[in-house]
């Protein structure tokens, strides 16, 4: 495979659209930053892509660069997708617990090789580092979230939002909503806001969301120090970092960040109602961002929000979801719709099978 003299960004500018359904549901102006339209299907195309691009440009011999990633999720898929666009190989090592769907997606995206080793991420990652990476002169390790170049890549999302709002005649956002796993996206959003005009960066509240069973940032902020969770117990497994990045913790303490935790049922509800309202399918790690728009959740978390307030939801996307997944979510967690606000102007209100489930 040959190198590209001047490689282009392996991510794309995504649309920012105002959602009438979610605005009506939330009681304010909801703008959707559609990161699900990135080449890999998630926002990770930005951060992972930036890291890969930086590695190629700064390598003494770009022609021999070979990327290695131990994520069988969205980070691995972003690595393979970006590497292919940069005309370089990417090998992904994952544990045997990785779902066949994701293995197939990695191979279909153009992985040089997908290797299954061990029963945990730690075992797969150790094999990658000790057996593969050490013996490859051009080998570059690709972490899922904890790297400055990854944060820089994610920060481009904010500069796009700023320009897109300006193009629509708007001056910045009053709040931004993003989910938190290891904290790479949160780092990018906060760093991006730092570079915006003072009024926006100081007044824009960032709502950082996690699910119960993956709330490493929330517990860390509560205790004033980094906390490592004993295990991950949420359906939103893309948020499954037992310990958030130090940079995410430090920035969250410094900036105007509100940390909140939602249930798996709420995350699942966000997925199926988003499909009903906007015809977009996302996984549970993204569903929590959508869930806050419904049934008064956003105003409870951010009481200062008014009807004219502009709230940007980062639709982070994710590839570990199918129609069957959404149907299973609705079967298991459908009871949550018994408390759905009866607003006939919100399409997903009418499609909710109220009363059909017992809590």
What are 271-318's pLDDT values in tens digits?
999 999 999 999 999 999 999 999 999 999 999 999 999 999 999 998
Q: What is the pLDDT of residue 2?
A: 47
Is the pLDDT at 337 greater than 60? The verdict is yes
d(C-alpha 222, C-alpha 122), whole Å: 27
* Pairing label, strands 90-94, 16-18: unpaired
Grouping H, G, I as helix, E, B as strand and the rest as coil, residue 355 is coil
Instruction: Annotate 96-132 with b (16+ C-beta within 10 A) or e (fewer).
Output: eebeeebbebbeebebbebbebbeebeebbebbeeeb
Is the pLDDT at 354 greater than 60? The verdict is no
| pLDDT, the chain, mean | 89
- Kindly list the strands in the beta sheet with 16-18, ordered across the sheet, starting from the edge strand earlier in the chain: 16-18, 29-34, 310-315, 175-179, 205-211, 257-262
Q: Find the mean pLDDT for residues 25-39.
A: 96
What angle do the packed helices 264-278 and 323-333 form, to 10 degrees? 130
Q: Find the mean pLDDT for residues 26-50.
A: 96
Grouping H, G, I as helix, E, B as strand and the rest as coil, residue 296 is coil
Tell me which of 72 and 111 has the higher pLDDT.
111
Cα dihedral sign for 218, 220, 221, 222? positive
> Which residue intervals of the chain are DSSP H helices?
20-26, 44-58, 74-85, 100-109, 121-127, 148-167, 184-194, 198-203, 216-223, 246-254, 264-278, 284-291, 297-301, 323-333, 347-350
Q: Find the mean pLDDT for residues 340-354.
A: 72
d(C-alpha 52, C-alpha 150), whole Å: 9
CA dihedral 338, 339, 343, 344 (to 10 degrees): -10
Grouping H, G, I as helix, E, B as strand and the rest as coil, residue 70 is coil
Is the pLDDT at 339 greater than 80? The verdict is no
d(C-alpha 318, C-alpha 223), whole Å: 30
d(C-alpha 236, C-alpha 284), whole Å: 5
Grouping H, G, I as helix, E, B as strand and the rest as coil, residue 263 is coil
Q: What is the pLDDT of residue 153?
A: 96
What are 140-185's pLDDT values in tens digits?
999 888 899 999 999 999 999 999 999 999 988 999 999 998 899 9
Q: How many CA atoms within 13 Å lie on the side-chain side of 343?
A: 19
What are 112-150's pLDDT values in tens digits?
999 998 877 778 888 998 989 888 889 999 988 889 999
Grouping H, G, I as helix, E, B as strand and the rest as coil, residue 66 is strand
Q: What is the pLDDT of residue 353?
A: 60
d(C-alpha 352, C-alpha 85), whole Å: 41
Residues 6+ apart with CB under 8 A from 225: none
List 313's β-bridge partners, or say none: 32, 177
Is the pLDDT at 96 greater than 90? The verdict is no
Is the pLDDT at 20 greater than 50? The verdict is yes
Q: What is the pLDDT of residue 6?
A: 56
Q: How many CA atoms within 13 Å lie on the side-chain side of 168?
A: 15
Taking alpha carbons only, the member of 349, 353, 331, 329 closest to residue 341 is: 349
> Which residue intervals of 60-197 are DSSP H helices?
74-85, 100-109, 121-127, 148-167, 184-194
How would residue 341 be classed by pLDDT, with cut points 50, 70 and 90?
low
Is the pLDDT at 331 greater than 60? The verdict is yes
Q: Find the mean pLDDT for residues 188-196.
A: 93
Q: What is the pLDDT of residue 173?
A: 93
Q: What's the first-to-final CA gap in the chain, in angstroms?
A: 56
Q: What is the pLDDT of residue 73?
A: 82
Is the pLDDT at 4 greater than 70? The verdict is no
Q: What is the pLDDT of residue 342?
A: 65
Grouping H, G, I as helix, E, B as strand and the rest as coil, residue 282 is coil
Is the pLDDT at 71 greater than 90? The verdict is no
What are 99-110's pLDDT values in tens digits?
888 899 999 999
């Amino acid at each position: 495979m040959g190198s590209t003299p001047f490689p282009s960004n392996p991510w794309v500018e995504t649309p920012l659209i105002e959602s009438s359904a979610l605005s009506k549901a939330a009681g304010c102006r909801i703008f959707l930053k559609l990161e699900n339209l990135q080449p890999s299907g998630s926002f990770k195309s930005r951060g992972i892509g930036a890291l890969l691009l930086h590695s190629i440009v700064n390598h003494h011999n770009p022609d021999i660069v070979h990327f290695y990633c131990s994520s069988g999720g969205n980070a691995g898929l972003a690595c393979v997708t970006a590497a292919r666009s940069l005309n370089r190989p990417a090998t992904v090592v994952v544990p045997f617990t990785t779902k066949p769907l994701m293995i197939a997606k990695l191979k279909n995206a153009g992985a040089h090789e997908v290797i299954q080793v061990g029963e945990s991420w730690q075992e797969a990652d150790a094999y990658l580092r000790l057996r593969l990476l050490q013996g490859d002169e051009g080998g570059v390790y690709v972490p899922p979230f904890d790297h400055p170049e990854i944060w820089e890549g994610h920060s481009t999302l904010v500069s796009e939002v700023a320009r897109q709002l300006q193009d629509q005649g708007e001056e910045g956002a009053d709040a931004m909503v993003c989910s938190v796993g290891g904290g790479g996206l949160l780092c990018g959003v906060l760093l991006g806001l730092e570079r915006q005009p003072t009024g926006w960066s100081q007044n824009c509240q960032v709502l950082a969301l996690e699910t119960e069973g993956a709330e490493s940032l929330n517990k860390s902020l509560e205790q004033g120090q980094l906390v490592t969770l004993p295990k991950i117990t949420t359906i939103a497994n893309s948020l499954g970092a037992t310990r958030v990045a130090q940079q995410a913790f430090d920035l969250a303490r410094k900036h105007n960040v509100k940390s909140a935790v939602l249930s798996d049922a709420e995350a699942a509800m966000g997925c199926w109602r988003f499909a009903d309202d906007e015809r977009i399918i996302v996984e549970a790690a993204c569903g929590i961002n959508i869930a806050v728009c419904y049934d008064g959740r956003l105003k409870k978390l951010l009481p200062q929000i008014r009807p004219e307030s502009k709230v940007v939801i980062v639709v982070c996307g994710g590839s570990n979801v199918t129609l069957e997944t959404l149907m299973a979510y609705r079967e298991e967690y459908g009871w949550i719709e018994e408390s759905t606000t009866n607003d006939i102007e919100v399409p997903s209100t009418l499609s909710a099978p109220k009363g059909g489930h017992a809590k």
